[in-house]
Each structure stands twice: as structure tokens, then as C-alpha cells.
Amino acid sequence: MPLQQDGRLGNIVTPNRIVMAPLGRARNSDPGREPVLRSVTYYVQRASAGLIISEATHVSASSVSRPGTGAIHSISQVAAWKKVTDAVHAAQGRIFQQLFHLGRKADPDRLGGALPIAPSAIAAIGEISGIAGPKPFPVPCALASDEIPEIIQQFQAAAINAHAAGFDGIELHAANGFLIDQFLRDSANQRSDDYGGSVANRARLLLEIVDDAIAIFGAGGVGVRVSPHATQDGLNDSNPAALYSHVARELSARGIGYLHLIEPDSIPEANKLLPALRPIFAGPLILAGEFNQGSAEAAIADGRADYVAFGRLFIANPDLVERFRLGAPLNVPDPATFYSGGDAGYIDYPTLSQQDTAQASQ
């Protein structure tokens, strides 16, 4: 069973190849954006994962979305996350923190009326979940060249905080249309300075943030998540193969802990980037997107991936590792409770042994 093999992922040794994908669940305190006791329970329940990657966590107060999203830019947020990491480690688990900045997807009403920042003044396509309901994404304010160091510094400060909070490493969220992704792809980045234009320039922000994070965690404590096929905000690139090959080459040269690629099996073979990226990136590769046990076992067995990340299956199955090991049936995730707050759909999905006990008492 390839998924149950142990392995090494950057700085950590893992008892299996099953990664809990980053999952924002909107359960943090409001307005503090700190994990509370139920989040400690939630992560501990899933500590048998080879690696837990935390929900996306804001690096600064200029990155603000719906209430309940976590953040790591204050002393009390660090203290709250320390309770999560201590509890996961006590349960023999491993946990990286995913760091992100919303960029153009932040909500002006939650920024005191200020416009969100972005590489260029180009709005995301779609709607923001605003205070008074859905509304179109705003046209953001393009960062001036001399404002970019402050953004890099925000990520650096967040990485220092993540380290202080006891995380085993960080994953930089360069996927799903957030700020780093907005810099990477040329439909959102039309800058003419050192951070726009060529592939090398568009990757510069990511790589400078990576270099700072390496100085804090060591290369093995840094992962990067990319999503070349995520186009839901109107984000696109004119030459994804060239862009992501450059990114993979540069990350490989730095020896980072892992590259995390979202590329579902359902992407047409001709559009897949994995065949090009796998030989370029020398370190461990985590593959994500719509995997089940069978497709994940196949991806590892035939060498396409070293690890597979599961999102929705981990929401519904705290003991996913055990269920895979036994070939047991899986609980079905309920999208209505993904972001609903509270315990329901968060910490009340039963483990196999809880189901057995419940059946025995009937």
C-alpha cells in the first residue's frame, strides 16, 4: 500500500504519504482571527496524517476576508496557534502553516474603505463575500515598486511568528488566485518593473519570500503550493509551462521541503504540467485535487507523486489514514458546514471506532 509507506518530507519524517490539504474552515475567533479550542480538537483528530497543512492564514491586517479566517500577525495569534501545534505534536503529528495574502481579493469594507493591493489595477472576476452579501471584486490598487518590500516583510514576519508558534514549517500559498499567484500569472500582473513582465520577474516575489522563509525554517521547512489550472477568478497565464517550469527549477535549486501541485486527474493529459515539472523539481512532490484512495495509490506507485493531499475527504474523515489502511467506508463531507462555524461538520465526524461503539449500543 504505497500510501502507508513512511517517507521524508523536507525537515520531517512521516509515517505515511497522506497529507491533509490546507482547508479554511472559518472557525477562528471574530474579530481576533485566532484558533479556539474546537480548532485544537479538529487538528488533533487528524494528527495521524503524514503531514497536516493548516488552513490558509493571513500574514497581515491588509489581507482580510470573511470572519473566522485565521491570521498570524499578532502576539496573541501566535499564542493561540501554539496551542494547536503543541497538541498536534503531543498526538505525534506534524503540522506546517499555510501563509497567504489575499491581494486583490480582500474586501474594502473590511479594510476601513481602503482598496486592496495587487500587482496591477485589474479586478478579479466574480464576487466577494462582503459584509452585506456578495458583491463584485473591487478594482485593486497596484503596488508601487517601493511598496513591495513591505509585502515581503509581512510574509517574513508571519514566518517568524509561525516558527515561534511551533509549526514544523510553512507552506507559501502561491495558488488559487491569491497575492503570490496574482504576481505569477500575467493576466493579473502587467507590471513593468522588476516584478512584472518576464517569467523570472513575475516569480521574483515568490522567490524572495521563499528565501526569507528558508532563513527562518531552513530549506526543508518550506513548501510551496501552486495551482496552474485554477482560473476561477479570471486568473490565467499565457504560457503556464514556461512559468511553472521556471518556478520549479528555482525552488529545486533552493532545496525546499516540497512542491505542492494542484492538478486533478480530470485535467486533459495534454494540459497537465506534472510530466514537465516532476523531472525539474528534485525534491518531494505532493499532488492534490479530487484524489481518492485508488487514484492516490496509483499516483505514488507509478512515481508521479511522493505524497497525495486530500481536502474534502479529511474534512469528513478524521481517521482517513486508518480508513485507507483498512479499506473501510468513508464518511461523506457536507458542503453546508464547510464554513458554517461551530462544532457541527467540524469536529463531529465520527471515527471508525466511534461508529463501531454506536452500532454496538444499538
Ligand X SMILES: Cc1cc2nc3c(=O)[nH]c(=O)nc-3n(C[C@H](O)[C@H](O)[C@H](O)COP(=O)(O)O)c2cc1C
Q: Which residues bind ligand X (CB under 6 A)?
A: 21-24, 55-56, 98, 173, 175-176, 225, 262, 288-291, 310-313, 338
Q: Which CB, 78 or 288, lies closer to ligand X?
A: 288
CA angle 335, 35, 75 (to 5 degrees): 150
What residue spans of 292-360 are helical by DSSP H? 293-301, 312-316, 320-326, 352-360
| DSSP three-state, residue 73 | coil
State the nearest-atom distance from the C-beta of 113 to ligand X, in Å: 26
Q: Which CB, 162 or 262, lies closer to ligand X?
A: 262
* Residues 10/309/39/256 CA torsion (nearest 10 deg): 20
State the nearest-atom distance from the C-beta of 262 to ligand X, in Å: 5
Q: Which residues pair with 95 in a beta bridge?
A: 52
Percent composition of the chain: helix, strand, coil (DSSP 3-state, to 5): 40, 15, 45
Q: Which CB, 193 or 339, lies closer to ligand X?
A: 339
Q: Which CB, 102 or 175, lies closer to ligand X?
A: 175
State the nearest-atom distance from the C-beta of 79 to ligand X, in Å: 22
- How far is residue 355's CA from residue 362's CA, in Å, rounded to a whole number? 11
How many CB atoms within 10 Å of residue 355? 14
Instruction: Decide: 64 and 79 in contact? Cβ < 8 Å.
Output: no
- How far is residue 71's CA from residue 61's CA, in Å, rounded to a whole number? 8
What residue spans of 238-301 are helical by DSSP H? 240-254, 274-280, 293-301
State the nearest-atom distance from the C-beta of 98 to ligand X, in Å: 6
State the nearest-atom distance from the C-beta of 152 to ligand X, in Å: 20
Q: Which CB, 196 or 310, lies closer to ligand X?
A: 310
State the nearest-atom distance from the C-beta of 260 to ligand X, in Å: 8
State the nearest-atom distance from the C-beta of 283 to ligand X, in Å: 19
State the nearest-atom distance from the C-beta of 332 to ligand X, in Å: 12
Which residue's Cβ lies closest to ligand X? Answer: 311
Q: Which CB, 78 or 262, lies closer to ligand X?
A: 262
Q: Which CB, 93 or 196, lies closer to ligand X?
A: 93
List the grid coordinates of 198. 518576464
Q: Which CB, 35 or 196, lies closer to ligand X?
A: 35
Q: What are φ and ψ of residue 306, in 5° steps?
A: -95, -30
* Residues 235/239/240/242 CA torsion (nearest 10 deg): -140
List the grid coordinates of 195. 516584478
- How far is residue 175's CA from residue 339's CA, in Å, rounded to a whole number? 20
DSSP annotation of 98 = E
